[in-house]
């Protein structure tokens, strides 16, 4: 109260009419009328009766709008954005009696004066967004209300368990241990207050960089409006003018960062359960995979590997010699990731606790004493990741696990979760002496700061290895450090639908490296559900089975020989597609695009795709339509305009309409293993090249000197293949090879033009070219002018031949 009185006094002295801004009666007070203008680098500060707005154009990002309802603008640090990305860029300024107009590179921002309201238009003058009620506050709460044009659709806000088009949804940003989330209202584990709007085929994006608890209302209660309301913090938003969805994501991720290339093994299949104990169990599971020829790269250890749930320890009974156990597994190509929670057990005999206590780097009560919560180990204190010294220390603690030979860190319970009432109390304090704030300010970024501590620690302490982290909670920017899984789902069909919604929602929100617990965390899937879950997850960037302690086992071989074959085939397909997937990770790093991409990413002009929640592309040109319903042997698939081929049987479909296609459940009579791949509808665009490789039991099992280029005739496209060592950072010094392949098809020939950049000694020396979509054997094939001898497979109607990987031009005459 005292602080607020001071604020009001300060406000009154700088803004004479500000007394009117008192909100004791609970009303929201909006900016009111324009009063004056001040120029700042890249923009202006416009002052109004009840506050001010600072608007700047930022190079390569878009526009930042900051509102103040007090004497000065907030100086709070942003943990979500990259400081280097905030570079003001010149604007042209024009003032008229009614408005101030700022013209920038990709948008025109107009500040109307009475009342002060902002609109953003593209440079052609077409309006993108317009404040309706605009910016206001009620005490510390801030709100921002925009008009919602009738034709607008909204995507983003991360992993929400709802359909991708947010229109009509109300979504709360407050990281919550929200297990079993089907049909429940939000909040959910992570908060990504960023959306992409598409209206009339044009896209723009909005990001609210406010960590307090907040709510988006996409025209539900707010009817013809779209609003954001937060419990506190500065009303600070960024507008990304687009007009492509891809440009918006490039701009947003220039601001908040992109996922660096993970170690390639992290793209392989991963098997987890709560309860792989003791050490011999890891050996048994590894044997289970290897003896059945089911590829797998990573096993997970959940909380019971620890000594009494003490972080960074090993149970002496269950894992007497972890270094040796992990080394033995590694010889079979099996890596191990350990869970790491955040609550540090209160136990004076436990050195991690003693160190944290002695450093003072824990979350405190208002008087500075440690806040003690209750998590798996019992009474716990919580590291204060807002402190640099705690982040550094955390990295060193993680290194105890890395030294033992683990391959990644799995960060759970970091909402933060607390068995006393769900989370920490609002009055707890963080960041003392650095960036002080209460739990209200730090709650949503606690996991982001933990991930930052883990990532930076790993880079510092093991600089040759790419970090591999998995988190449950997070905030915008988490993608710079970690992958994410969607938390505790259930073994039911609805949760399969939600898994697709959530993973695609994350991807279109700048968080590409995501997946869901295959088969459901709780409950017991039958073979059909498990296989369908696995089919969809084959095309999620992060692919991991996991289930709770009391749930029955669900290794890929748990459901009988027929399902085992089907599951093996899907996992083998995952490994066959690793070059496509790895290339998609590279592309994300280049421009922020998702890896599993909702169709609106590429086909924003086609309104038929806005409501499609269960179709996406896996990298470029490969459309996936997983079956997410029980008992189905067919499903409808909408194909956007263009020509598409069904994979792997190559029937041709004209896009721009829907088809009902076969998607058979596992067929007990199948003889040919590859038949199982028919179960999931996959379509490839004509002209596309999909890079593939031979199956390995784990990434890097052997050096692959040959990669496959599968090309589908009948269109012109550009495709890419990215190769590097799959580990380490030499790629940042040029040790990579990017092959770009342009196709053109005319009456006489299909032509492939290959260009390469970078130089990587380990790159494939041979491309095995497989041409699909031919009606007869090619008349001739030439490679850089020299004749080649294709093998013609009349049954599958494909022609195949090898070329040197340095070839420049391939001509297929038909």
Q: Where along the sequence are the contacts to ligand MIG (CB under 6 A)?
A: 274, 302-303, 339, 412-413, 472, 487-488, 521, 546, 548
CA dihedral over 757, 761, 763, 768, signed as positive or negative: positive
Cα–Cα distance between 476 and 541 in angstroms, integer? 18
Q: Which of 412, 501, 543, 713 is catalytic?
A: 412
Helix (H) or strand (E) holding 471: strand 469-471
Where b means 16+ CB within 10 Å and e means fewer, 167-187 reads bebbbbbbbbbbebbeeeebb
d(CA 268, CA 289): 13
* Beta carbon nearer to ligand MIG, 243 or 519: 519
Q: Is the dihedral of CA 606, 608, 610, 616 positive or negative?
A: negative
Nearest to 401 by CA among 451, 463, 485, 457: 457
If the CB atoms of residues 369 and 550 are measured against ligand MIG, the closer one turns out to be 550
Going from the C-alpha of 160 to that of each of 151, 292, 316, the distances in angstroms are 22, 37, 40
Closer to ligand MIG by Cβ: residue 488 or 614: 488
> Please, what is the minimum distance in Å from the beta carbon of residue 349 to ligand MIG?
23
Enclosing H/E stretch for 527: helix 527-537
How far apart (Å, rounded) are the C-alpha atoms in residues 738 and 756? Answer: 6
302 vs 713, beta carbon nearer ligand MIG = 302
Nearer to ligand MIG, 415 or 569 (CB): 415
- In the complex, what is the shortest distance from the CB of residue 339 to ligand MIG, in angstroms, rounded to a whole number? 6
Report the distance separating Cα 480 and Cα 393, nearest Å.
Answer: 20
Residue 280 CB: number of other CB atoms within 10 A?
Answer: 11
Residue 462 CB, nearest approach to ligand MIG (Å) = 24
Q: How far is CA 70 from the centre of its chain?
A: 36
User: Are 65 and 239 a contacting pair, CB within 8 Å?
Assistant: yes
Nearer to ligand MIG, 235 or 303 (CB): 303
Asked if residue 187 has a cis previous peptide bond (ω within 30° of 0), the answer is yes
Q: Is 574 helix (H, G, I), strand (E, B) or coil?
A: helix
* Nearest-approach distance from CB 30 to ligand MIG, in angstroms: 42
H or E element that contains 691: strand 689-692
Residues 6+ apart with CB under 8 A from 600: 153, 155, 164, 196, 198, 245, 508, 609, 610
Cα distance between residue 813 and residue 811, in whole Å: 6
Q: Measuring CA to CA, which residue among 778, 227, 340 is closest to residue 800?
A: 778
| Greatest Cα-to-Cα distance within the chain, rounded to the nearest angstrom | 87
Q: Confirm whether 412 is a catalytic residue.
A: yes
User: Strand 62-68 relative to strand 780-783: parallel, antiparallel, unpaired?
Assistant: unpaired
| Residue 602 bears catalytic tag | no
The residue (of 21 and 352) whose beta carbon lies closer to ligand MIG is 352
CA quadruple 314, 318, 324, 327: dihedral positive or negative? negative
Rounded Cα–Cα distance for residues 645 and 682 (Å): 8
CB distance 73 to 234 below 8 Å:
yes
> In this complex, which beta carbon is closest to ligand MIG, that of residue 28 or of residue 180?
180
Catalytic residue among 49, 210, 234, 488: 488
DSSP category for residue 668: T
Q: Say how far apart CA 280 and CA 285 lie, in whole Å.
A: 9
Q: How many residues does the chain have?
A: 814
**Which of 339, 304, 332 lies closest to 318 in space, CA to CA?**
304
Task: Please state the closest distance from residue 313 (CB atom) to ligand MIG, in A.
Answer: 15
At closest approach, how far in Å is the CB of 471 from ligand MIG?
11
Give CA–CA dist 445/600, Å, rounded. 29
> Which CB atom, from 548 or from 701, has the smaller least distance to ligand MIG?
548
Alpha helices in 596-645 (DSSP H): 599-602
Smallest gap from residue 548 Cβ to ligand MIG (A): 6
Is 415 catalytic? The answer is: yes
Six-digit token string for 377: 């180990």
- DSSP letter at 711? E
Residue 280 DSSP symbol: H
Q: How far is the CB of 376 from ligand MIG (least distance, A)?
A: 7
Question: 3-state secondary structure string, 758-802?
Answer: CCCCCCCCEEEEEEECCCCCCCEEEECCEEECCEEECCCCEEEEE
Q: Which residue is nearest to ligand MIG (CB)?
A: 274
Query: What's the closest the beta carbon of residue 411 comes to ligand MIG, in angstroms?
Result: 10
The label of the residue with tokens 């095995």 reads 768
CB of 189 to ligand MIG, least distance (A): 8
Q: How far is the CB of 393 from ligand MIG (least distance, A)?
A: 23
Q: Which of 49, 217, 415, 535 is catalytic?
A: 415
- Indicate the residue among 165 and 412 with the shorter CB distance to ligand MIG: 412
Is 128 or 417 the residue whose CB approaches ligand MIG more closely?
A: 417
| Residue pair 483/451 in contact by the 8 Å Cβ criterion | no
- Please identify, using beta-carbon distances, which residue of 487 and 773 lies nearer to ligand MIG: 487
CB of 380 to ligand MIG, least distance (A): 13
Taking the complex as a whole, the smallest distance from the CB of residue 636 to ligand MIG amounts, in Å, to 33
Whole-angstrom distance, CA of residue 603 vs CA of residue 608? 9
Of the pair 303, 511, the CB lying nearest ligand MIG is at 303
Q: Which residues are catalytic?
A: 412, 415, 488
């Amino acid at each position: 109260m005292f602080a607020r009185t001071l604020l009001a006094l300060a406000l009154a002295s700088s803004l004479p009419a500000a007394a009117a801004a008192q909100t004791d009666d609970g009303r929201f007070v909006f900016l009111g009328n324009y009063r004056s203008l001040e120029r700042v680098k890249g923009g202006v500060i416009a002052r109004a009766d009840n506050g001010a707005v600072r608007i700047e154009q930022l190079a390569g990002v878009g526009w930042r709008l900051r509102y103040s309802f007090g004497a000065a603008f907030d100086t709070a640090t942003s943990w979500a954005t990259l400081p280097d990305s905030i570079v003001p860029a010149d604007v042209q300024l024009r003032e008229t009696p009614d408005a101030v107009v700022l013209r920038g590179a990709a948008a025109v921002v107009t500040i109307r004066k009475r009342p002060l309201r902002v609109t953003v238009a593209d440079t052609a003058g077409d309006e993108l967004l317009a404040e309706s009620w605009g910016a206001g506050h009620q005490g510390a709460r801030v709100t921002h209300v925009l008009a919602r044009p009738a034709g607008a659709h909204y995507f983003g806000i991360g992993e929400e368990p709802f359909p991708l088009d947010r229109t009509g949804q109300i979504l709360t940003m407050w990281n919550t241990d929200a297990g079993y989330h089907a049909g429940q209202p939000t909040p959910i584990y992570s908060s990504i207050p960023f959306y992409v709007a598409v209206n009339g085929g044009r896209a723009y994006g909005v990001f609210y960089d406010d960590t307090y608890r907040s709510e988006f209302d996409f025209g539900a209660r707010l009817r013809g409006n779209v609003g954001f309301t937060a419990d506190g913090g500065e009303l600070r938003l960024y507008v990304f003018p687009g007009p492509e969805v891809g440009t918006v994501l490039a701009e947003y991720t220039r601001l908040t960062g992109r996922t660096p290339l993970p170690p390639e093994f992290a793209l392989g299949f991963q098997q987890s359960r709560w309860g792989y104990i003791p050490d011999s169990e890891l050996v048994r599971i590894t044997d289970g995979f290897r003896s059945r020829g089911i590829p797998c790269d990573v096993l997970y250890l959940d909380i019971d590997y620890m000594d009494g749930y003490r972080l960074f320890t090993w149970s002496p009974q269950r894992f007497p010699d972890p270094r040796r156990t992990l080394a033995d597994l590694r010889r079979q190509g099996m890596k191990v990731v350990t869970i790491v929670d955040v609550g540090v057990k209160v136990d004076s005999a436990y050195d991690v606790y003693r160190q944290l206590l002695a450093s003072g780097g824990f979350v405190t009560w208002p008087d500075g004493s440690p806040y003690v919560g209750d998590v798996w180990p019992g009474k716990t204190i919580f590291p204060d990741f807002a402190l640099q010294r705690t982040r550094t220390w955390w990295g060193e603690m993680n290194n105890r696990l890395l030294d033992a030979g683990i391959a990644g860190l799995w960060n759970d319970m970091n909402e933060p979760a607390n068995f006393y009432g769900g989370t920490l109390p609002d009055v707890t304090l963080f960041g003392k002496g650095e960036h002080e704030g209460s739990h209200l300010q730090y709650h949503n970024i606690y996991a982001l700061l933990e991930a930052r501590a883990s990532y930076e620690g790993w880079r510092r302490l093991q600089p040759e290895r790419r970090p591999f982290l998995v988190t449950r909670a997070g905030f915008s920017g988490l993608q710079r450090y970690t992958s994410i899984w969607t938390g505790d789902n259930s073994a039911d069909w609805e949760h399969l639908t939600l898994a697709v919604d959530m993973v695609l929602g994350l991807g279109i929100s700048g968080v590409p490296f995501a997946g869901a617990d295959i088969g459901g965390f709780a409950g017991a899937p039958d073979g059909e559900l498990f296989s369908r879950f696995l089919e969809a997850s084959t095309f999620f960037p992060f692919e991991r089975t996991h289930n709770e302690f009391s749930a029955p086992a669900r290794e890929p071989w748990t459901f009988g020989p027929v399902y085992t074959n089907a599951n093996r085939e899907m996992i083998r397909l995952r490994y066959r597609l690793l070059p496509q997937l790895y290339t998609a990770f590279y592309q994300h790093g280049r421009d922020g695009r998702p890896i599993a991409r909702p169709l609106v990413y590429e086909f924003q002009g086609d309104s038929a795709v806005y409501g499609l929640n269960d179709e996406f592309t896996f990298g470029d040109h490969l459309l996936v339509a997983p079956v997410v319903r029980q008992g189905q042997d067919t499903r409808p698939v909408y194909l956007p305009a263009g020509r598409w081929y069904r994979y792997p049987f190559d029937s041709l479909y004209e896009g721009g309409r829907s088809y009902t296609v076969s998607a058979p459940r596992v067929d007990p009579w199948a003889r040919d293993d590859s038949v199982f791949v028919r179960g999931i509808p996959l379509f490839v665009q004509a002209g596309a090249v999909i890079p593939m490789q031979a199956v390995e039991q784990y990434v890097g099992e052997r050096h692959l000197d040959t990669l496959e280029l599968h090309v589908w005739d009948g269109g012109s496209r550009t495709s890419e293949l990215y190769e590097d060592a799959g580990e380490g950072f030499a790629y940042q010094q040029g040790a990579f090879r990017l092959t770009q392949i342009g196709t053109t098809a005319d009456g006489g020939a299909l032509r492939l033009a290959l260009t390469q950049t970078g130089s990587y000694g380990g790159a494939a020396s041979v491309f095995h070219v497989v041409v699909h979509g031919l009606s007869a054997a090619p008349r001739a094939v030439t490679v850089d002018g020299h004749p080649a001898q294709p093998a013609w497979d009349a049954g599958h109607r494909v022609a195949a031949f090898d070329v040197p990987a340095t070839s420049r031009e391939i001509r297929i005459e038909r």
